[in-house]
């Protein structure tokens, strides 16, 4: 029980529960902690969460769980298959915007698109209803899939008729629908390849994620923008299935360490940090070489089990920060046609927030 509580308290997402979530102030970008345990066996519960859409420095926008706490990406939202989530979106901005989920069920008035006038006007509050279901048996001894998966949510109403303006400015986040019995992680990292940025940042300011050796780490990878990408994590691999873990010795899932991550798609997996390879400053990056060269690369710092810094890791991180990436070089020289340079307005707004720490 103590171990379960410790895990829950160390997690970075909000498991949305029926009670008002006792969230603590986010100490770092994307860090939200809740002390509420996951829901028990009863499926079909309706749960509520309030999300605040806010303008951020650098022409960015973000979603947050409390006023003043918006981040890019927004908080990880989680639900269990069979539950319904009522998302009340408070639009504190002067822009039309919405929240549109992938992977769950909703009616047209909750799809978050201008097509159905499903959006929040400036200053408006609106509730969107996301439903989910468990797998069920169908005719022919087949099964209809449930909602479980690593999904995501995003704005679908800002700027244009298609509502594409919010995505480029940071209005996106991860949505996890779990199956009851799924293993919960110690740490969660949301990685969004958005045009030529990672979470609207480029190296050396791309997010740095951290865990201690042996901790169970959950990665949620999401693609946005107008570029194709491949997500690669050094020294770790996962099964290309719903959870990233093999179900047994005969599970036919391919084991990979690199996977396509294209606009609108998402996947997730769990790994044990440093398992079989030890601690260190491991890279994660887009494996399209021109993309990594221009800044789609970050560090997954696996600390020693006691949280101390492994030998050589700080030197590697310093080297990473000392890199001259082509994008930065071209920007510095005022290149008129900078190839693969992220637009300034989608870069990280705050140079002090270079790292996303584990706590």
Nearer to Cu ion, 93 or 197 (CB): 197
Q: Is 286 in the site for Cu ion (CB under 5 A)?
A: yes
- Nearer Cβ to Cu ion, position 29 or 221? 221
What's the min distance (Å) between Cβ of 294 and Cu ion?
Answer: 9
Query: Which residues touch 281 (CB under 8 Å, ≥6 apart)?
Result: 299, 300, 301, 302, 310, 312, 313, 314, 316, 317, 320
Q: Is 264 left (phi over 0), alpha (psi -120 to 50) or beta?
A: left
Among the listed ranges 7-15, 33-41, 205-213, 226-234, the one in contact with Cu ion (CB under 5 A) is: 226-234
- Residue 226's nearest CA partner among 157, 291, 161 is 291
Contact between residue 118 and residue 163 where contact means Cβ atoms under 8 Å apart: no
* Stretch of 15-23, 170-178, 222-230, 272-280 contacting Cu ion, by CB under 5 A: 222-230
Instruction: Note whether 291 binds Cu ion by CB under 5 A.
Output: yes
| Dist CA 65 CA 26 (whole Å) | 10
Q: Between residues 232 and 236, which has the closer beta carbon with respect to Cu ion?
A: 232
Work out whether 133 is an interface residue with Cu ion (CB under 5 A): no
- Alpha-carbon span 331 to 296, nearest angstrom: 16
Find the part of the chain contacting Cu ion (CB under 5 A) among 91-99, 132-140, 159-167, 227-235: 227-235
288/299 with CB nearer Cu ion: 288
Number of residues that bind Cu ion (CB under 5 A): 4
Phi, psi of 294 (to 5 degrees): -100, 10
Q: How far is the CB of 329 from Cu ion (least distance, A)?
A: 18
Largest separation between any pair of C-alpha atoms in the chain: 64
Helix, strand, coil shares, percent, the chain, to 5: 10, 35, 55
Stretch of 8-16, 137-145, 224-232, 336-344 contacting Cu ion, by CB under 5 A: 224-232
Q: For residues 54 and 195, which CB has a smaller minimum distance to Cu ion in the complex? A: 195
Q: Which is nearer to Cu ion, 151 or 193 (CB)?
A: 193
Task: Show the binding pattern over residues 174-213: x = contacts Cu ion (CB under 5 A), - = does not.
Answer: ----------------------------------------
Exactly one of 100, 229, 236, 325 binds Cu ion (CB under 5 A); that residue is: 229
What are the residues whose beta carbons fall under 8 Å from the beta carbon of 139, sequence distance 6 or more? none
**Between residues 128 and 231, which has the closer beta carbon with respect to Cu ion?**
231
User: Considering the complex, what minimum distance in angstroms separates the CB of residue 340 from Cu ion?
Assistant: 9
Q: How far is the CB of 220 from Cu ion (least distance, A)?
A: 17
- Of residues 102-131, those binding Cu ion (CB under 5 A): none
Q: What are the DSSP calls for 176-214, one per residue? A: EEEPTTPPPPSEEEEEEEETTEETTB-TTSS-EEEEETT
Is residue 196 within 8 A of residue 342, CB to CB? The reply is yes
Q: Are 218 and 189 in contact (CB under 8 A)?
A: yes
Nearer to Cu ion, 286 or 313 (CB): 286
Cβ proximity to Cu ion: between 103 and 263 the closer is 263
CB of 266 to Cu ion, least distance (A): 15
Of 286 and 302, CB closest to Cu ion: 286
Shortest Cβ 115–Cu ion spacing (Å): 30
**SS3 call for 172:** strand
β-pairing, 297-303 vs 208-212, is: parallel
Query: Which residue stretch of 57-65, 181-189, 225-233, 243-251 sits at the interface with Cu ion (rule: CB under 5 A)?
Result: 225-233
Binding part of the chain for Cu ion, among 5-13, 33-41, 197-205, 223-231 by CB under 5 A, reads 223-231
288 binds Cu ion (CB under 5 A): yes
Residue keyed to tokens 């047209």: 108
Question: What are the CA-CA distances from residue 79 to residues 45, 49, 86 (Å)?
Answer: 10, 11, 11
Alpha-carbon distances of 307 from 239, 282, 304, 359, rounded to whole Å: 27, 16, 5, 12
| Residues contributing to the site for Cu ion (CB under 5 A) | 229, 286, 288, 291
């Amino acid at each position: 029980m103590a171990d379960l509580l410790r895990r829950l308290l160390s997690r970075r997402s909000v498991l949305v529960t029926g009670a008002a979530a006792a969230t603590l102030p986010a100490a770092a970008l994307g860090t939200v902690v809740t002390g509420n345990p996951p829901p028990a066996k009863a499926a079909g519960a309706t749960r509520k969460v309030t999300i605040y859409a806010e303008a951020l420095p650098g022409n960015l926008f973000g979603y947050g769980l409390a006023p003043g706490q918006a981040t890019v990406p927004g908080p990880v939202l989680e639900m269990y298959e069979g539950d319904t989530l009522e998302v009340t979106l408070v639009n504190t901005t002067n822009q039309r915007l919405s929240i549109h989920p992938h992977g769950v069920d909703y009616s047209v008035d909750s799809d978050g698109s201008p097509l159905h006038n499903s959006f929040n006007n400036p200053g408006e509050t609106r509730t969107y209803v996301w439903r989910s279901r468990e797998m069920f048996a169908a005719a022919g001894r087949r099964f209809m899939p449930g909602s479980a998966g690593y999904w995501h949510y995003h704005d679908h109403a800002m700027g244009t008729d298609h509502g594409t303006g919010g995505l480029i400015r940071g209005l996106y986040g991860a949505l996890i629908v779990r199956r009851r019995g799924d293993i919960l992680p110690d740490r969660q990292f949301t990685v969004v390849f958005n045009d030529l940025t990672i979470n609207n940042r480029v190296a050396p300011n791309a997010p740095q994620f951290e865990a201690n050796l042996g901790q169970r780490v959950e990665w949620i990878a999401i693609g946005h923008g107008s570029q194709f990408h491949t997500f690669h994590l050094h020294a770790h691999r996962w099964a290309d299935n719903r959870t990233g873990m093999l179900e047994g010795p005969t599970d036919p899932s391919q084991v990979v360490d690199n996977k396509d991550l294209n606009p609108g798609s998402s996947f997730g997996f769990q790994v044990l940090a440093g398992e079989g390879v030890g601690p260190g400053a491991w890279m994660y990056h887009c494996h399209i070489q021109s993309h990594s060269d221009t800044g789609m690369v970050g560090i997954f710092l696996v600390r020693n089990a006691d949280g101390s810094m492994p030998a050589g890791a700080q030197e590697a991180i310093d080297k990473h920060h000392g890199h001259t990436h082509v994008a930065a070089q071209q920007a510095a020289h005022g290149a008129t046609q900078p190839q693969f340079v992220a637009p300034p307005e989608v870069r990280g707004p705050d140079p002090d927030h270079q790292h996303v720490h584990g706590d």
